[in-house]
Amino acid sequence: MSSNTAPSSSAGAGSADSAATRRSKRPKYSRFTQQELPACKPILTPKWVISAFMLVAIVFIPIGVATLFASRDVVEIVDRYETECIPLSSRNDKVKYIQTPGNKTCSRTLTVKKHMKKPIYVYYQLDNFYQNHRRYVKSRSDKQLKDPNSANTVADCKPEDKTNGASIVPCGLIAWSLFNDTYTFSRNQSEPLPVNKKGISWKSDREHKFGKKVFPTNFQNSTLKGGATLNPLIPLSEQEDLIVWMRTAALPTFRKLYGKIEVDLQQNDVIHVTLDNNYNTYSFSGKKKLVLSTTSWLGGRNDFLGIAYLTVGGLCFFLAMAFTIVYLVKPRQLGDPSYLSWNRNPGGH
Amino acid sequence: MPRGRRRTIHFSKLYSFSCIRSSFEDVHAKIGDRGYSRVVYCNDPDNSEALQLRYRGNYVSTTKYTAANFIPKSLFEQFRRVANIYFLVVAFVSFSPLAPFKAVSVLIPLLVVIGATMVKEAIEDWRRRKQDVEANNRKVKVYGRNHTFIGTRWKKLRVGDLVKVHKDEYFPADLLLLSSSYEDGICYVETMNLDGETNLKLKHALEATSPLQDENSLERFRAVIKCEDPNENLYSFVGTLFYNGREYPLSLQQMLLRDSKLKNTEYVYGVVVFTGHDTKVMENATDPPSKRSKIERKMDKIIYILFSTLFVIAFVGSVFFGIDTKKDYSGGKMRRWYLRPDDSAVYYDPKRAEIAAILHFLTALMLYGYLIPISLYVSIEMVKVLQSIFINRDQDMYYEETDRPAHARTSNLNEELGQIDMILSDKTGTLTCNSMEFIKCSIAGTAYGHGKTEVEMALANRRNGVAETGHISSDVVEHSTGEADSSRKSIKGFNFRDERIMNGHWVNEPHSDTIQKFLRVLAICHTAIPVVDKESGEISYEAESPDEAAFVIAARELGFEFFERTQTSISLHELDYETGEKVDREYELLQVLEFSSSRKRMSVIVKSPENKLLLLCKGADSAIFERLAKDGRQFEDQTKEHIHKYAEAGLRTLVVAHRELGLEEYKAWEQKFLKAKASLTEGRDALMDELADKIERELILLGVTAVEDKLQKGVPECINKLAQAGIKIWVLTGDKMETAVNIGYACSLLRQDMKRIVISLDSPDIIALEKQGKKDAIQKACLASIRKQIEEGFSQINEAKKGSSSTKAFGLIIDGKSLEYSLKKDLEKSFFELAINCASVICCRSTPKQKALVTRLVKNETGKTTLAVGDGANDVGMLQEADIGVGISGVEGMQAVMASDFAIAQFRFLERLLLVHGHWCYRRISMMICYFFYKNITFGFTLFWFEAHNSFSGLPAYNDWYMSFYNVFFTSLPVIALGVFDQDVSARLCLKYPSLYLEGVENILFSWTRILGWMFNGLLSSIIIFFFTTNSMIPQPFQKDGQVADYEVLGVTMYTCVVWAVNCQMAISINYFTWIQHLFIWGSVAFWYIFLVIYGSVSPSISTTAYKVLVEECAPSPLYWLVTLLVVVCTLLPYFSYRAFQTRFKPMRHDVIQQKRLLSCNNDQIDASGELPVRVRGKLRHLRHRLRERES
């Protein structure tokens, strides 16, 4: 900063006093401000691309195989019964049949095709039932379910909030439309198969969302009856069917746990199901299915995940191969300087 | 400030040394009228009339907000953005049952975003306020009622107060100078804060008030000032002082403006005339015009696209919802009885399905609002501020000699720096140093001076070493320069070597009397101030322009040392050529006829010690030659030839002439002139010009000075690099064509292999026409001539295009006069066509207005981004007109910097500013915006797919708080890190491969295909996320214990996939991974899980669907993790494969450079060309820095 500083002729009157106070405005050096932090700079080199694809393939194909095996391990019996359980004479107007009071017992026979290990989970599956409709989902009172003193917190439950001026517990559309088909199983004509309905709900629901001292009151007392009734002497935290039902499903096709059969079922066992076909899915043409299923480490039977893994793994393998071939057949120096020439388009526009 | 005035006013008006002596009876017609109504009662604080006036106090506030209006005003600023309005409306509506989620969950992100911006505003304003408080509480001495000076705070000053300001103090308000510590009432002022000029300016008090030297005399001082109202004109002041029954006219000479500083003077007394916001400097404080970058304007369009998408999908959803709802109840029969359609609020009522659908439309608008990134604006603003900090802190753009780092004055144009298509540059002070060196002169037809200019050297190189220097007397060059250099130290501003006239040898030259007169003009005809160093006795000069300083120094070095200036005289140590002795001579200064860009000359009228009246004049050749007397043209031809040669050598020339005046003639003229000068009418300037014109005639030519303006360091290399980056450079200069062309060659703007197309009006027939003076005919001829020349240019270009494969580049050179015609409507287009077909364009002899006009033309015609770079007040128009104005903080003051968007100290820093910072910022911002849209589309559309599966009832797929935190916590930091830190290649490679810059010029990274590509990628990701999760989890049990996945589990799984997918997408699309990126990206993902655990463990009445959802339900399920892995890999595959194919088959420029870097890294760790790896270089630099610190 010495020899040729100020370009004008100024010898700077009054520069002496400012020199002392003036500090250099030179920016301080730090790797951060100079944007020179140590960094890794990934580049899509052939090697990287191929190994990335290969890696995915190598990881995905075994997972796919394993999940597919797990899924195939599961034995599942599905019985669709919503039409068969209606007497032939009433099949023209199913809605009327289901809405008419009376005994609607129906019996179904299932054959076990493969050995089923306990526990065997019993599900009912509904189709075209919009448990995820916003009006439906919001129509409940969590406070009321938990707290015996909040029985009157029913603002969200309309129109199933009150009956004759008294609050309904549990209120709301979800509880009101509780599924009420029942199943009784017996094996080979004679041997009854008990269904364990304990522990079919989430523990946290039982313990923290449904009160031990909250009892159903005024439930299903209104003129328009929905689904199942509840025993007013059992606290909500033990009404597991209700708890399961109140966990709304994500999609209009869903299964819900009905109970567990805690014995093994042998191949060719014939299971008789006596069911009470009470629930109205007919007005919205929904299907009803009864499902018996074992589980694997992955859960139930669904090949989708395994197939997806295999497909993606295969695709990646194919891409890896394709890239390898391309690089082998036509290796090109990517550092081709002709790409950098600014003369490529004269005039520069 | 209005631009026009700024351009025409010259600073010399700040200090004209004329003395006003005579009468002013009829002068103050305007005083008291509108615009001139201010009355100041000096030193009379109790005057009842003064109290009535109620002028504003001296309290100054520059803050945007006050404590009271901060909230409403800053909120108003916030909600001027469409997106924010939308979110505000959503927040309000969300309190109604229409809302698909809780109102708080909408409000909180909005509050965070708005709050962040408001905090930023508040901090900025707080800084301004602190400055204000500091200024308002400075101390100043005020003359009190007890007739002594008492210290008071600035803010308490009132109009009419008498203040005493000491050396090196700032003036607290606009003051009228009464007297100073000097007897003649002068004082020196530094106006750095006003106009950035560091040189001192002389102010002088009226003779009537200058005897008020002590406190006792002030006691009786009473006066009234009537003057103009507050205005922003820094360079004029009109007023009258009524004192002791007489009237005295006041001018800017007596005004001491706030924020300037008293120098070299012990103290001054002054009267406060304007206070606080009425002061000229405060009136001048205006914000620069706000500019928005092209990317931001395009971003608005994208926001509109997203809004339309939002409306479309909301509409589609409502239609389906309406149909479904309608079907629920018909003829007394309920379809979905579990929804109780018979007894429903209006929102779901099948009987009023149409209304329900319309209301649902509103719900859907809120729900899909996640398509609009709420945090986009605030993120971009934060990122840009950080980017600006990087620009300001860049050590490689710090200029040590002036101690100036680069400065981004506006942060919202950073990315525009990466898209510059054309640079319009000033020449003087921008390409050149604007430090003038007196190098040659021609006196009485003889050329003196042997120095070689840079341009001459470049020319010599160009001619392949042919030793033709364009030199007039080159025979003695070698030995004389060597001798001179060794014998004496170099003097700033003086590079003149010729022993024929140095050291007093000029007396032996043939025309020694002319030489004497010539040097005398140089020594007298100027406005410089001598500064005598007390210790060494050496004299240096404070001059208005470096040219002027060079002349005075040259005169000093050649024996005419100017050493003292008073208000009425100029004193020289002069070499008497008859006796050969030094004598002191005092010239009485009678008038100064100032320089202005229209007059192009300045003169002084002095009375010599021999009582001769002399008019000394220097000016542009065009202005002087037409004023020569018949018998004054003795050396005209030789001089013109020399001027031509000097211009060719890149020198600035001024013609020097003089004239002896008769006493009678002068007296008659003086009367008129003084009258004009004292007048206050609008036409005053014109009238003075006219009168000056009358006396500046019949001049006798003495000679020509030639001053070199050196090229700045690194300019040719920088221009070369910029040209390689595809940037076209136009030079707009006021210089002569020859000078401009030669500078063009010197800075490699023009190359040897270029063909020059010259458009000028210097053809003989036009000159002949001009002599006849028929205006219409001239115009017609000019237009025709230019049209013809443009056509010729076209045919040349076309020929070159057709003719040979080696397309020759063209350089277009056009002069100011032709430019004026070319910019007329009917020629504009074709001129422009021609210009963009040329590689370089030089416009010479252009006025500031033409500069601005050309800039506008270029900007509007190409629609491409233009950058103007300049350093002087004459470039202000250009800087404001261009998309980006870059000011060079150089010698000519701060006007350009004040009007600019970026300020740098040297032209060569432009290279780094554009190629490195511009490129990075462009890349960062465009990627950031694309990514923003990607992540919000990904998220928003998963909601839509879910809607499609719940009969569009408006149930969100996720818990309210997951959604509102999406933009704020789980995805915001990585994108900011991208915007601040990402770099495709290092700074070194950016500079090494300038063609990388073309990515910005061609706008590859923010093209519609790319934007839509990212949007499509988002759509694809949302499809993959939704359908893969639902198909693999539903309806079968998803755990070993037979539980099925319900609404809560599905929501968490999908959300997990979204968070992973968008963050991993970020990870594979950035090029630069520091620990910051790692922390932000993986931290965001980790935070999602942490959030879920914490939120899931609070009471279910708060966490609702999130209660223990991870701990109890998802985490124990292997399916949950496997689905996450599958979905995330699948969402990344399309982009990854696309990039893999692209880098292989159609690599972008940065891909190629990255590849090259990798190759060279593998081949040899330390490059053969001596380039060290980045880490080593960083280390080295760090060491060097520490060393420097230790030294200092």
Lowest mean pLDDT across A60-69, A107-116, B73-82, B656-665 = B73-82
Supply B559's token pair. 């024996």
Q: Give the list of residues 6+ apart from residue B667 with CB closer than 8 angstroms, or none.
A: none
Whose tokens are 């006093």? That residue is A17
Cβ contact (<8 Å) for A295 and B405? no
Measure A289 CA to nearest chain B CA, in Å: 12
Q: Is A204 on the interface with B (CB under 8 A)?
A: yes
Cβ contact (<8 Å) for B1137 and A204? no
B851 carries a ligand binding annotation: yes
Residue from B1126, B870, B982, B511 nearest A59 by CA: B1126
> What is the number of other CB atoms lying within 10 angstroms of the CB of residue B1098?
11
Residue A172, domain member (yes or no): yes
- Residues B741 and B750 sit within 8 Å (Cβ to Cβ): yes
Q: Are residues B127 and B185 located together in one domain of the fold?
A: no
Residue A6, domain member (yes or no): no
The CATH number of residue B800's host domain is: 3.40.50
Asked if the model's pLDDT at residue B1095 lies above 90, the reply is: yes
- Residues B34 and B907 sit within 8 Å (Cβ to Cβ): no
Q: Are residues B109 and B183 located together in one domain of the fold?
A: no
Asked if the model's pLDDT at residue B86 lies above 60, the reply is: yes
Residue B291, domain member (yes or no): no
Q: Is B1041 on the interface with A (CB under 8 A)?
A: yes
Mutation target vs A (from B1046, B1054, B1185; most A CBs, 10 A cutoff):
B1046
Q: Are residues A117 and A156 located together in one domain of the fold?
A: yes
d(CA B1016, CA B1014): 5
Lowest mean pLDDT across B25-39, B702-716, B1038-1052 = B25-39
Asked if the model's pLDDT at residue B1045 lies above 70, the reply is: yes
| DSSP-assigned states of every residue in A281-347 | -TTTT--EEEEEE--BTTBS---HHHHHHHHHHHHHHHHHHHHHHHHHHS---TT-GGGG-TTSSTT
Give the single-character DSSP code of A86.
S
Kindly report whether the peptide bond that precedes residue B100 is cis, defined as omega within 30 degrees of 0: no
Q: Are residues A88 and A197 located together in one domain of the fold?
A: yes
Q: Is A318 on the interface with B (CB under 8 A)?
A: no
Supply B392's token pair. 């300001």
Mutation target vs A (from B1044, B1092, B1127; most A CBs, 10 A cutoff):
B1044
Higher pLDDT, B1022 or B195: B1022
Supply B630's token pair. 């018949």
Measure A17 CA to nearest chain B CA, in Å: 9
Q: Which residues of B touch A254 (CB under 8 A)?
A: 1034-1035, 1044, 1046
Question: If 0-12 CB within 10 Å is exposed, 13-18 middle and 19+ buried, where does residue B3 land?
Answer: middle
Measure B1126 CA to nearest chain A CA, in Å: 7
Residue A12, domain member (yes or no): no
Q: Which residues of A touch B723 (CB under 8 A)?
A: 342
Cβ contact (<8 Å) for B394 and A27? yes
Q: How far is CA B951 from CA A132, B413, B960, in A?
A: 9, 46, 20
Cβ contact (<8 Å) for A312 and B1133? yes
Residue B1168: the pLDDT is 39
Q: Which of A14, A36, A297 sits opposite B168 (nearest CB)?
A: A14
Q: Are residues A232 and A177 located together in one domain of the fold?
A: yes
> What is the number of other CB atoms lying within 10 angstroms of the CB of residue B479?
8
Residue B274, domain member (yes or no): yes
- Annotation says B426 is catalytic: yes
Q: Are residues A112 and A144 located together in one domain of the fold?
A: yes
Q: Are residues A146 and A112 located together in one domain of the fold?
A: yes
Q: Are residues A84 and A58 located together in one domain of the fold?
A: no
What percentage of residues in chain B have a pLDDT greater than 90? 18
Cβ contact (<8 Å) for B1133 and A323? no
Cβ contact (<8 Å) for A41 and B1154? yes
Beta strand spans in B764-906 (E): 810-815, 840-844, 865-870, 884-888, 902-904
Give the single-character DSSP code of B503.
G
Q: Are residues B634 and B698 located together in one domain of the fold?
A: yes
Per-residue pLDDT of B130-186, as tens digits, reads 888 888 888 888 887 777 888 888 888 888 888 999 888 889 888 889 888 877 788
Residue B1115: the pLDDT is 92
Q: Are residues A68 and A173 located together in one domain of the fold?
A: no
Q: Are residues B922 and B900 located together in one domain of the fold?
A: no
* Chain B residue with the nearest C-alpha to that of A319: B1137
Most confident of B279-288, B454-463, B568-577, B695-704: B695-704
Q: Give the list of residues 6+ apart from residue B65 with CB closer than 8 angstroms, or none.
A: B73, B74, B121, B122, B125
Lowest mean pLDDT across B264-278, B486-500, B572-586, B730-744 = B486-500
Q: What φ, ψ does residue B282 adopt, rounded to 5°?
A: -75, -35
- Residues B356 and B349 sit within 8 Å (Cβ to Cβ): yes
Per-residue pLDDT of A79-124, as tens digits, reads 999 888 888 888 888 888 888 888 889 999 999 999 999 899 999 9
Asked if the model's pLDDT at residue B5 lies above 50, the reply is: no
- Longest CA pairwise span in chain A (Å): 118
- Residues B272 and B157 sit within 8 Å (Cβ to Cβ): yes
Asked if the model's pLDDT at residue A260 lies above 70, the reply is: yes
What percentage of residues in chain B have a pLDDT greater than 70? 88
The CATH number of residue B267's host domain is: 2.70.150.10
Residue A33, domain member (yes or no): no
Higher pLDDT, B807 or B430: B430
Per-residue pLDDT of B767-779, as tens digits, reads 677 667 677 888 8
Supply B494's token pair. 């003086």
- Which residues between 51 and 110 in chain A have a beta carbon less than 8 angstroms from any beta carbon of chain B? 52, 56, 60, 63, 67, 74, 76, 95
Q: Is B1038 on the interface with A (CB under 8 A)?
A: yes
Residue B677, domain member (yes or no): yes
Q: Are residues B167 and B118 located together in one domain of the fold?
A: no
Q: Are residues B892 and B935 located together in one domain of the fold?
A: no
pLDDT range class, residue B77, cuts 50, 70, 90: confident
> What is the number of other CB atoms lying within 10 angstroms of the CB of residue B1112?
15
3-state secondary structure of A40: strand
The CATH number of residue B689's host domain is: 3.40.1110.10
Mutation target vs A (from B169, B337, B347; most A CBs, 10 A cutoff):
B337
Residue A348: the pLDDT is 35
Average pLDDT over residues B822-849: 82
> What is the number of other CB atoms lying within 10 angstroms of the CB of residue B644?
14
Lowest mean pLDDT across A314-318, B286-290, B348-352, B869-873 = B286-290
Q: Are residues A328 and A225 located together in one domain of the fold?
A: no
Average pLDDT over residues B334-360: 88
If you average pLDDT over every residue of chain B, what do you get?
82
Q: Count of alpha carbons within 13 Å of B602, Cβ hemisphere only?
A: 22
Residue from B432, B578, B430, B551 nearest B494 by CA: B551
Residue B1180, domain member (yes or no): no
- Residues B875 and B851 sit within 8 Å (Cβ to Cβ): yes
B1164 carries a ligand binding annotation: no
d(CA B993, CA B915): 9
Cβ contact (<8 Å) for A284 and B1149? no
Count of all residues that appear for chain B in the document: 1192
Whose tokens are 């004054």? That residue is B632
* Chain A residue with the nearest C-alpha to that of B547: A8
Q: Are residues A329 and A201 located together in one domain of the fold?
A: no
What's the whole-model pTM score?
Answer: 0.79
**Active site residue: B174, B426, B498, B960, which one?**
B426
Average pLDDT over residues B858-863: 83
Cβ contact (<8 Å) for A142 and B1100? yes
Give the single-character DSSP code of A92.
G
- Alpha carbon A128 to chain centroid distance? 17
Q: Are residues B900 and B926 located together in one domain of the fold?
A: no
Q: Which of A25, A35, A76 sits opposite B404 (nearest CB)?
A: A25
Measure B445 CA to nearest chain A CA, in Å: 29
Per-residue pLDDT of B911-939, as tens digits, reads 999 999 999 999 999 999 999 999 999 99
Residue A69: the pLDDT is 94
Q: Is B1102 on the interface with A (CB under 8 A)?
A: no
| Interface A:B, Cβ pairs < 8 A | 363
Total domains in the fold of chain B: 5
Q: Are residues A187 and A85 located together in one domain of the fold?
A: yes
Domain that holds residue B67: 61-138
Residue from B1003, B423, B1061 nearest B747 by CA: B423
Domain that holds residue A260: 75-294
Q: Are residues A175 and A313 located together in one domain of the fold?
A: no
| DSSP-assigned states of every residue in B523-572 | HHSS--EEEE-TTT--EEEE-SSHHHHHHHHHHHHTTEEEEEE-SSEEEE
Residue from B75, B76, B78, B92 nearest B366 by CA: B92
Asked if the model's pLDDT at residue B468 lies above 50, the reply is: no
Cβ contact (<8 Å) for B1133 and A46? no
Q: Are residues A328 and A224 located together in one domain of the fold?
A: no
Q: Which of A8, A121, A249 sits opposite B1047 (nearest CB)?
A: A249
Lowest mean pLDDT across B17-31, B529-543, B706-720, B1089-1103 = B17-31
Residue B235: the pLDDT is 72
- Residues B548 and B527 sit within 8 Å (Cβ to Cβ): yes
| DSSP-assigned states of every residue in A119-139 | PEEEEEEESS--TT-HHHHH-
- Residues B254 and B203 sit within 8 Å (Cβ to Cβ): yes
Average pLDDT over residues B613-633: 86
Q: Is A27 on the interface with B (CB under 8 A)?
A: yes
Q: Are residues B992 and B1133 located together in one domain of the fold?
A: yes
d(CA B694, CA B675): 15
Per-residue pLDDT of B788-805, as tens digits, reads 888 888 888 888 777 654
Residue B655, domain member (yes or no): yes
Residue B464: the pLDDT is 53
Residue B489: the pLDDT is 52
> What is the number of other CB atoms lying within 10 angstroms of the CB of residue B81?
15
* Chain B residue with the nearest C-alpha to that of A24: B403
Q: Are residues B750 and B671 located together in one domain of the fold?
A: no
* Chain A residue with the nearest C-alpha to that of B347: A135
Q: Are residues B101 and B193 located together in one domain of the fold?
A: no
Residue B863, domain member (yes or no): yes
Q: Is B45 on the interface with A (CB under 8 A)?
A: no
Amino acid of residue A269 = D
A187 forms bridges with which residues in the sheet? A191, A271
Total domains in the fold of chain A: 2
Q: Give the list of residues 6+ apart from residue B1010 with CB closer than 8 angstroms, or none.
A: B926, B930, B1004
- Alpha carbon B125 to chain centroid distance? 22
Residue B931, domain member (yes or no): yes
Measure A226 CA to nearest chain B CA, in Å: 7
Residue from B525, B506, B665, B521 nearest B591 by CA: B525
| B728-732 vs B420-425, strand pairing mode | parallel
Amino acid of residue B597 = S
Q: Is B1075 on the interface with A (CB under 8 A)?
A: yes
